[in-house]
Amino acid sequence: MEKDWVKVFSVTQGYLAEILKNMLESNGIACVVINKTDSSYIVFGEAELYTHVSHAEEAKKLIEEHNA
């Protein structure tokens, strides 16, 4: 991962992280999902959403508005 990227959200359902990733990208925020769920037991682990530190606050705000 590139330098200065921070986790802005994590969730146990990977598809939700992908939905949020698409929403952020449509708002001009580059981001990446790192899926840390267990491949054998998908109930263990999380999908984490990362963005550059310069976009972190805006990303968190958009995620909060989306989940309201």
Q: What is the CATH number of the domain that holds 44?
A: 3.30.70
- Assess if residue 28 is contained within a domain: yes
pLDDT confidence tier of residue 16, bands split at 50, 70 and 90: very high
Q: Comparing 51 with 36, which gets the higher pLDDT?
A: 51
Sequential DSSP letters for the chain = --TTEEEEEEES-HHHHHHHHHHHHHTT--EEEEE---SS-TTSS-EEEEEEGGGHHHHHHHHHHHH-
Give residue 14's domain range: 5-60
Q: What is the mean pLDDT of the chain?
A: 89
- Assess if residue 22 is contained within a domain: yes
Count of structural domains, the chain: 1
**What is the predicted pLDDT for the residue at 55?**
96
- Assess if residue 43 is contained within a domain: yes
Distances (CA, A) of 43 to 14, 37, 49, 61: 10, 7, 18, 27
- Assess if residue 19 is contained within a domain: yes
Q: What is the pLDDT of residues 17-42, one digit of tens each?
A: 999 999 999 999 999 999 887 767 66
How many residues comprise the chain? 68
CA 40 from chain centre, in angstroms, equals 22
